[in-house]
Amino acid sequence: MPLTDEMPTAGKIAAAIGLGIVGWIGSELFRPLMPPDTNFGWFNYVNLGLGALCGWRVTGRRLGHGYATGISAGLTGVAALVFWALFFQSLNEMLRLALDRRITGLMTGLTKMFELGADYVVTMLDGTLIGVLLAGGFLVGVISEWVARRWS
């Protein structure tokens, strides 16, 4: 990997900001789908940070090769954001259950983590949420590609 892949560019910054916003909005749309007594804590902030990281590392690296590639990069960034958000939120919930002594072993914890992730995926099967994530990935890709071309 060339050293320049790690350098800040306007396209990477635009992708990071855009996917951070998509992560926040997606979190806000996910909240009503969960039970009313759910304690979300840092949920939005974690997903905002994950969105910014995925925008920088996943989407931002693939900019500057045309709008089709930019759109593809934006949608790939959203897919990475959803994957990592599911992973970290499932891990967080599994650790909470382990600290409450409801999970006793490593394999039980890993199994529970995958069960929680699957439950979250089923919960995410909401048309509005999926539409916003896809539209957000598309817009982030187009805008980030435009910014990468404009200020490169």
pLDDT in tens, the chain (152 residues): 555 667 889 999 999 999 999 999 999 999 999 999 988 899 999 999 999 999 999 999 999 999 999 999 999 999 999 999 999 999 999 999 999 888 888 899 999 999 999 999 999 999 999 999 999 999 999 999 999 999 87
In terms of Cα–Cα distance, which of 57, 75, 76, 61 is closest to 137?
75
Residue 57 lies in a domain: yes
Residue 45 lies in a domain: yes
Residue 120 lies in a domain: yes
Residue 73 lies in a domain: yes
Domain that holds residue 139: 6-150
Residue 67 lies in a domain: yes
Angle at 100 between CA 96 and CA 105, to 5 degrees: 85
Q: Which helix (H) or strand (E) holds 85?
A: helix 67-99
Q: Which helix (H) or strand (E) holds 18?
A: helix 10-30
Tokens 């806000």 found at:
28
Tokens 């919930």 found at:
93
Residue 1 lies in a domain: no
Which tokens in the block code for residue 119?
A: 């439950």
Provide the domain count of the chain.
1
